[in-house]
Amino acid sequence: MKLPPGVKSKDFADAIRQFEDAVGKQWVFTSEEDVALYRDAYSPFWGEEEERVASAAVAPDSVEQVQKVVRVANALKIPIYPISTGKNLGYGGSAPNLSGSVVLDLKRMNRVLEVSERNAYALVEPGVSYFDLYRHIQEKGYKLWVDVPDPGWGSPIGNALDHGGGYLQPQFRNHFDSHCGMEVVLANGEVLRTGMGALPGSKTWQEYKFGFGPWIDGIFSQGSSGVVTKMGFWLMPQPDAYLTGTVTVPGYEDITPLVDILTFLENSGVSNGMPGLGSPVLGGFMMPPPKSEVTAMLNEGGVASPKLQQYARQNGIPYWSCTVKFYGPAKAITAQWEYAKEKFSAIAGAKFQDGESYKLPLTPDQFNKVHKPEFGIPSLEMFSIGARSPYNPTPTSGHMWFSPIIPRTGEAILEANRVFSQAAKDFGLPILSFSLPSTYWMRAFIFLFGFPITHDIPTNRKNRESFRKLIQLSAEHGWGEYRTPPAFQDTVMETYSFNNHALRRFHETIKDALDPNGIISPGRYGIWPKHLRGQKA
Amino acid sequence: MANRREFIKAGLAVSMIPILATAKELLPQSAASVFPFYKVIFDHRFPASREFGSEMEKLGAAVHGINGDITDLWFHDLDQRWKQAPAPIAGMTAHGPLFCLERLAWDHGMRVLSRTDHPPVDDSEPLITWIIGPRARS
């Protein structure tokens, strides 16, 4: 067992005994076999001394039990690492930042406390998974959708706190943005409610976020200032219909007006589903694979290759595509698509194709065909498509996401690709020659590059080194990571350095004030308590 | 030289015998009844896995076929069953479905008790035969 740094064996044993008193002996896990379940399956340090591992785990069933555990940890200065369902794969899983921490596993707190169909919100505990909430809504017959990530086995609270995203309308896709009200156990064991929840007897905890005075919910997201034990979420009323349409544009330079028009349509609320950018000539994800001659031209001259542009023109293959999606009344979304076509028609040579059109709810046949998260349905299908195939001949043991935020412009897409494809050559990175960004966030693009994790230590070392270089390179161009595995959180936080790291110093001030013994998630997102500051996990 | 079907049959032999034999050893006495598995999972995409499912069904198993994705199996069956009590399952699948089922089983006090990796046939994914169940009483 790896004890937390600076903690004596006697104190640790005392803490374990008191945890057992608090939650019941059967809910405190100390055996090697049990603790191993909290390893990060996708750890970039797999099998190395630096792998972040827990010393034990404790699984409370109630807020009161969480308070008891936190008070014990605070008294004996035992670091704890709260997790909800522990499915944060690709960004750290359930393993702590600081080896030797005790995982505070909240999976037993799995109650859906309230769902209001009338006002479209839910109040849940951290152990509630997206499947649980979806099932509750289905069983009650509520006409509500939950915005789910893909895969959907995680928890709304855990995903929102890590700034995860989904696939429905923009006001729901950003899961932290769509929360309303929190309950938090602080490091001293006190319970705090945010927003309207601070008003005893409040009737609007899940209806108005801000309450009165400074709004503090943000410090608990990607944070280490408390243990979130309840959270409210706004849900999406089930729409009448769903419609998609695709516009293609012929030229390389057309990406700029294409993105500008898309952004206008989204910011105006005309297109209200998650759009998808593509490149018919380049092929790839969700499109036929590129032809070998295209790959050769791309590798030789990049996406701007004159040969590639000529090839596209001669063969009548559009350079770019954009699929826009609409939820709402059938008549309204048909009109919205018509309006979108009018706007995109400003690009010479734009062509249009109608896509999916469903009256909702889906029929069983439709249900089996669609990408389920776009209909608020949790799914694990993703795990069946990442396996070995002609396009993935050597499946790895997992992945870690490199995920920079870039401006929402066509120019930024091209610039980021120029930088990252050059980096791929320079550093020997396992990323594609050209990628298009994801559109989870309405106001910015995000690139998602999956770095392979293997069980080969030299390969992992090389990939970690490349990952760090890419973080630095990205920051030099003004693109910051939105989320990263614990192995790189210090590196990323180091790049957010405006005014001599004023932001990190602010976080540290808050950390020291709220958690002076530094027991809650030390090191999470690069925020270390005073006694560990400057050290590495 | 063995043809494809013979190759699959040979694979089945090495996958099924241990599964049935080890189940009795690995599972708690309460679970190790005549046929100890609540469900046996196979994957329609792979001939060897289909054969496995067919043979297990002949032996009296309640089998469930997937197409790589365990979502329906999980949501409509295992999630509700395991909320009542742990129930052992076995299967012959690719890595992805086992990866999901193993992690979902952890939350119900179960583990992968047995795992046998099989070499890939042609360009197919490698298959694994496995047992998930509660730990045997020591």
Which residue in B has a C-alpha nearest to residue A37's C-alpha? B106
Give the A window 369-388 contacts with B, CB below 8 Å. Answer: 372, 378-381, 383-388
Q: Does A139 lie at the interface with B, CB-CB under 8 angstroms?
A: no
Q: Which chain B residues touch A153 with a CB distance below 8 Å? A: 100, 103-104
pLDDT tens sequence across A117-166: 999 999 999 999 999 999 999 999 999 999 999 999 999 999 999 999 99
Q: Tell me whether A499 touches chain B (CB under 8 Å).
A: no
Q: Say which residue, A536 or A372, is predicted with more confidence.
A: A372
Q: CATH 3.30.465.10 residue ranges in chain A? A: 112-237
Main-chain phi, psi angles of A177, to 5 degrees: -60, -30
Looking at CATH, the fold of the domain delimited by A494-532 is given as: Vanillyl-alcohol Oxidase; Chain A, domain 4 (1.10.45)
pLDDT at B65 over 80: yes
Q: What is the pLDDT of residue B13?
A: 56
Q: Given pLDDT bands bounded at 50, 70 and 90, which one contains residue B2?
A: very low
Collapse the DSSP code of A178 into the 3-class scheme (helix H, G, I; strand E, B; otherwise coil) and give the result.
Answer: coil
pLDDT of residue B28: 65
Task: Name the pLDDT band for A391 (thresholds 50, 70, 90).
Answer: very low
Q: Which of A52, A482, A504, A524 is catalytic?
A: A482
Render pLDDT for B3-24 as a digit per residue (tens, 0 to 9): 555 545 555 555 665 666 666 6
Q: CATH number of A112-237: 3.40.50.10320, 3.40.50.1860, 3.30.465.10, 3.20.20.70? A: 3.30.465.10
- Average confidence (pLDDT) over B93-104: 95
Kindly determine whether residue B104 and residue A153, on different chains, have CB atoms separated by under 8 Å. yes
Q: Output the CA–CA distances (angstroms, integers) from residue A459 to A146, A396, A453, B77, in the order listed.
A: 39, 11, 8, 40
Q: Report the mean per-residue pLDDT for chain B.
A: 83
Top pLDDT among A116 and A90 is at: A116
Q: Looking at residues A247-257, what average pLDDT do you find? A: 97
Residues in chain A within 8 Å Cβ distance of B104: 153
B110 DSSP β-pair partners: B134
Cβ atoms A82, A65 nearer than 8 A = no
What value does the mean pLDDT take over residues A208-230?
97
CB contacts of A41 in chain B (<8 Å) are: 99, 103
Average pLDDT over residues A206-235: 98
The first and second tokens of residue A45, run together, are: 């340090």
Q: Which of A384, A385, A394, A396 to mutate to test the interface with B (most CBs of B within 10 A)?
A: A384
Active site residue A242: no
Identify the CATH number of the domain defined by range A9-105. Answer: 3.30.43.10
Q: Give me the pLDDT at residue B1, please.
A: 42
CATH match of A241-360 with 3.40.50.920: no
Query: Comparing A180-184, A210-214, A384-388, A434-438, which segment has the lowest mean pLDDT?
Result: A384-388
Burial of A403 (0-12, 13-18, 19+ CB in 10 A): buried
Q: How far is B56 from chain A (nearest CA, A)?
A: 23
Reduced DSSP (H G I as helix, E B as strand, rest coil) percent helix, strand, coil of chain A, to 5 = 40, 20, 45
pLDDT at res. A431: 65
Contact: B71, A380; criterion CB under 8 Å: yes
- Positions of CATH 1.10.45.10 in chain A: 494-532
The answer to whether A36 faces chain B, any CB pair under 8 Å, is no
Reference A402, options A322, A495, A303, A286; nearest CA is A495
Say what the pLDDT of residue B105 is. Answer: 97
- Considering A193, A483, A504, A524, which one is annotated as catalytic? A483
Q: How far apart are CA A268 and CA B106, in angstroms?
A: 46
Cβ–Cβ of B69/A383 closer than 8 Å?
Answer: yes
* Confidence tier at B36 by pLDDT (50, 70, 90): confident
Confidence of residue A100 (pLDDT cuts 50, 70, 90): very high
CA-to-CA distance for A491 and A536, rounded, in angstroms? Answer: 11
Confidence at residue B33, expressed as pLDDT on a 0 to 100 scale: 59
Higher pLDDT, A375 or A431: A375
Q: How many helices (H) and strands (E) does chain A have?
A: 16, 19
- State the virtual CA torsion across A488, A490, A491, A493 in degrees, nearest 10: 120
ipTM, 2 dp = 0.92
* Residue ranges per structural domain of chain B: 4-134
Q: What's the mean pLDDT when you consider all of chain A?
A: 94
For position A301, what pLDDT does the model report? 85
Contacts of A310 by beta carbon, 8 Å cutoff, 6+ apart: none
Q: In this complex, is the C-beta atom of A34 within 8 Å of any C-beta atom belonging to chain B? A: no
Tell me the whole-structure pTM to 2 decimals.
0.94
Query: Does B106 sit within 8 Å of A131, measured CB to CB?
Result: no
Measured over the CA atoms of residue B97, residue B103, residue B104 and residue B109, the dihedral's sign is: positive
**Residue B68: closest CA among chain A residues belongs to which residue?**
A384
* Beta-carbon separation of B70 and A385 below 8 A: no
Known catalytic residue: A91? yes
Residues of B in contact with A85 (CB under 8 A): 107
Give yes or no for a contact between A475 and A68, defined as CB atoms under 8 angstroms apart.
no
CB pairs under 8 A between A and B: 57
Higher pLDDT, A122 or A285: A122
Instruction: Say yes or no to pLDDT of A438 above 90.
Output: yes
Residues A527-531 have a mean pLDDT of 96
CA distance A176 to A326: 22
For the question of residue A482 being annotated catalytic, the response is: yes
The answer to whether the Cβ–Cβ distance between B79 and A131 falls below 8 Å is: yes
Of chain B, the end-to-end C-alpha distance in Å amounts to 46
Q: Is residue B100 predicted with pLDDT exceeding 60?
A: yes
**B122 band by pLDDT with thresholds 50, 70 and 90:** confident
What's the confidence (pLDDT) of residue A290? 74
Strands (E), A46-153: 56-58, 80-83, 102-105, 112-116, 121-124, 144-145
